[in-house]
């Protein structure tokens, strides 16, 4: 379940429809997906992709994505901090960033081009987020330092981040405040 934080306005949204509408207003797509059948925690990437094959196919058609894979990040992932440091500064890329969360959590910050306030969007299991190409944003893991997600790409080679060098991310604390972390 997603949580949207607009720190500058002291606003927090947890209703999925409100989150979807707000993100749509700044050009991002947000959806919630259900698997076509229950998935075991240790489901293979193939099983994960199969369980969401209808949604993936629909999204591929709509967005011109040609490949889908499953990424798995845990606290034990080698060179985790070096990898995260590539994405936790404000950047953009030439491709959409498409993530559907299977397990764990992630925290995206979006710096809208329309001049609106920076938005923090925490995503968890069942959440799909599409960050369009050219969007200024940055990414952090949450306290569980775990995320398993389906990714879709327009170019099978993937993308490389372009940094804005704004240091905008330094004004926002990369902490997650969703239900899973309030009780932790």
Nearest distance from residue 3's CB to Fe ion, in Å?
19
Burial of 93 (0-12, 13-18, 19+ CB in 10 A): middle
Task: For residues 92 and 76, give the distance between their C-alpha atoms in angstroms, rounded to a whole number.
Answer: 27
Please compute Rg for the chain using Cα positions.
16
Nearest distance from residue 155's CB to Fe ion, in Å?
14
By CB under 5 A, which span of 63-71, 94-102, 117-125, 171-179 interacts with Fe ion?
94-102
Task: For residues 137 and 4, give the distance between their C-alpha atoms in angstroms, rounded to a whole number.
Answer: 14
Nearest distance from residue 177's CB to Fe ion, in Å?
22
Which residue from 90, 95, 97, 140 is in contact with Fe ion, where contact means CB under 5 A? 97
Nearest distance from residue 34's CB to Fe ion, in Å?
26
Task: Give the residue at shortest CB distance from Fe ion.
Answer: 97
CA-nearest of 26, 33, 25, 27 to 2 is 33
| Closest to Fe ion by CB, 33 or 136 | 136
**What are the two backbone dihedrals, phi and then psi, of residue 130, each rounded to the nearest 5 degrees?**
-115, 110
| Closest to Fe ion by CB, 99 or 148 | 99
For the window 130-159, what string marks contact with Fe ion as x by the rule CB under 5 A?
A: ------------------------------
Q: Residue 41 CB: number of other CB atoms within 10 A?
A: 7
Sign, CA torsion 133/27/171/77: negative
Nearest distance from residue 87's CB to Fe ion, in Å?
6
Nearest distance from residue 17's CB to Fe ion, in Å?
26
64: alpha, beta or left? (left if phi > 0; alpha if psi -120 to 50): left
| Closest to Fe ion by CB, 97 or 122 | 97
By CB under 5 A, which span of 14-22, 61-69, 91-99, 176-184 interacts with Fe ion?
91-99
**What are the two backbone dihedrals, phi and then psi, of residue 42, each rounded to the nearest 5 degrees?**
-100, 25
Interface residues for Fe ion in 32-51 (CB under 5 A)?
none
Residues that bind Fe ion (CB under 5 A): 97
């Amino acid at each position: 379940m997603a949580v949207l934080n607009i720190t500058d306005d002291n606003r927090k949204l947890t209703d999925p429809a409100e989150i979807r509408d707000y993100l749509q207003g700044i050009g991002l797509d947000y959806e919630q997906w259900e698997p076509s059948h229950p998935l075991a925690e240790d489901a293979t990437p193939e099983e994960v992709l199969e369980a969401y094959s209808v949604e993936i196919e629909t999204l591929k058609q709509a967005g011109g994505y040609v490949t889908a894979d499953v990424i798995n990040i845990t606290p034990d992932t080698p060179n985790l901090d070096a990898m995260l440091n590539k994405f936790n500064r404000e950047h953009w890329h030439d491709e959409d960033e498409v993530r559907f969360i299977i397990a764990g959590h992630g925290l995206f910050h979006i710096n809208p081009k329309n001049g609106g306030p920076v938005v923090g969007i925490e995503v968890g299991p069942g959440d799909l987020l599409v960050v369009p190409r050219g969007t200024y944003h940055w990414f952090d893991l949450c306290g569980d330092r775990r995320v398993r997600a389906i990714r879709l790409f327009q170019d099978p080679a993937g993308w490389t981040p372009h940094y804005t060098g704004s240091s905008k991310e330094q004004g926002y604390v990369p902490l997650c405040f969703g239900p899973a972390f309030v009780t932790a």
